[in-house]
Structure formats: structure tokens, C-alpha cells
A and B are shown apart, each in its own frame.
Chain A
Amino acid sequence: QKEVEQDPGPLSVPEGAIVSLNCTYSNSAFQYFMWYRQYSRKGPELLMYTYSSGNKEDGRFTAQVDKSSKYISLFIRDSQPSDSATYLCAFTGGYQKVTFGIGTKLQVIP
């Protein structure tokens, strides 16, 4: 079983739609949960960072963590064409290496 599972997509949505991106993980040592956004051939940039189960909101973005189910989500409200990118979930236990999902490619169509 892979440590992290993420659907690579691609996912195409119309502008203004709510986007839901998800990852599952198997490593119980993971305590910190992150979402990165990567534009084509650019370095990934940190979007959201959470620690506990529950929701964390930042503008149009909401990160959700369910530790009991080992499931995390990223919701994007009122999606924009500029949101078109690859979204990677990432996990770490603290001082250990960060483990990434393969990334979901999102396209928001005007």
C-alpha cells in the first residue's frame, strides 16, 4: 500500500465551480498536512498547512483533515482560471522528510 494516494486527474471544471481535491494516507506517524500548488514547470508553493483534524479556511481555500479516516481534502470556492495548476498534498511527522502525493492536475475553464 502506498503511503499517499492521490488521483492524478486531470480534473476540468467551469469557472466559478467548487473544486474538491482529496488524498488518503496510511502512515499514522503523519501529523502535519499541507497542500501545495504547482504551476507548470515551476516550484511547488505552499498553499495551506494544518495540524489537527477539522477545517482551516484561507480565502477561497478550505483544508479539511480527518485523521480517523486518514483523509484530507482541499476545497476551492469560486474557482478561477488562475487556479489551473497541479495540487499536491503533502505529509510529515515533524522532523522527518515530507512525503508528497503525485498531484492532481486541475483545469478551470472560463
Chain B
Amino acid sequence: DSGVTQTPKHLITATGQRVTLRCSPRSGDLSVYWYQQSLDQGLQFLIQYYNGEERAKGNILERFSAQQFPDLHSELNLSSLELGDSALYFCASSAIGGIGNTIYFGEGSWLTVV
């Protein structure tokens, strides 16, 4: 158990809908990362937050947004969903001053868009 908690574990929704994925980082970790993993793309970095502030942005679509709250949990909002958004969405966290930024992953949220 990495200590990173993600909910829901599985989600099926229709095209055009909006969903929210939730992540609680490991105790004490200030950084939260979101990654998308599909079969043919590998792990794609979406966005990183550090202590509530956006730190880095990757290949995140404009239809997607995220935030980190004062209690350090994070949410990833996916809107106007398309079939191609079906993927595993991982949250990860790392400690402050983490040299090397070793990050620890949650179990993922499996999103299926139908």
C-alpha cells in the first residue's frame, strides 16, 4: 500500500458527461501529480500541484482541470468526455524537498466512456 488513495476505482459514464476523480496523497506529501495511462500511450503526465499551487503542466486537455485543496487532497475534473478519454488515471504524491522527486502512485481510477 503506497498510502495514496484514489476514488472511485471504476467509473463508467457516457460521452459528453463530466466526472471528478479524487486523490488523497500520502501523509505529509505536499506534491500531487496526475497521470493518464492508456494502452498505447504509456504514462502521460497531466499536471502537478505543490501545496495548493500548480507547479507543472503536461499534456492536459483544456476539457480537463485539476486543483489541490488546503487539506492537500486533489481533484481531477474531466468534462465533455469523449470515447478516447477512457483510460486509467493515476494520482501520485511526493514529499517536500524530495530530491529526485521519487513519487508514489495510487491504485488508479479506471474510467470508461461509452
A residues near B (Cβ < 8 Å) are 31-32, 34, 36, 41-46, 49, 51, 88, 92, 94-103
Contacts and interface: CB of A to CB of B under 8 A. Distances in A.
A27 to B, nearest CB: 13
Contacts of B86: none
A97 B58 contact: yes
B101 A41 contact: no
A69 to B, nearest CB: 20
Contacts of A100: 35, 42-43, 45
A44 B100 contact: no
B27 interface: no
**Which of the four size classes fits the interface of chain B?**
20 to 34
B4 to A, nearest CB: 7
Interface string B81-114: 0000000101010000001111111111010000
B20 interface: no
A11 B33 CA distance: 30
B48 interface: yes
B22 to A, nearest CB: 15
A103 B101 contact: no
Contacts of B103: 46, 98
30 contacts: A31-B100, A32-B99, A32-B101, A32-B102, A34-B100, A41-B108, A42-B107, A43-B2, A43-B106, A43-B107, A44-B43, A44-B90, A45-B105, A51-B100, A88-B42, A92-B101, A94-B99, A94-B100, A96-B56, A96-B101, A97-B33, A97-B45, A97-B48, A97-B58, A98-B33, A98-B45, A98-B101, A99-B45, A100-B35, A103-B42
B102 A45 contact: no
Give me the 4 closest cross-chain CB pairs, A-B, nearest first. A32-B100, A43-B105, A102-B42, A100-B43
Interface string B26-50: 0000000101000001110100100
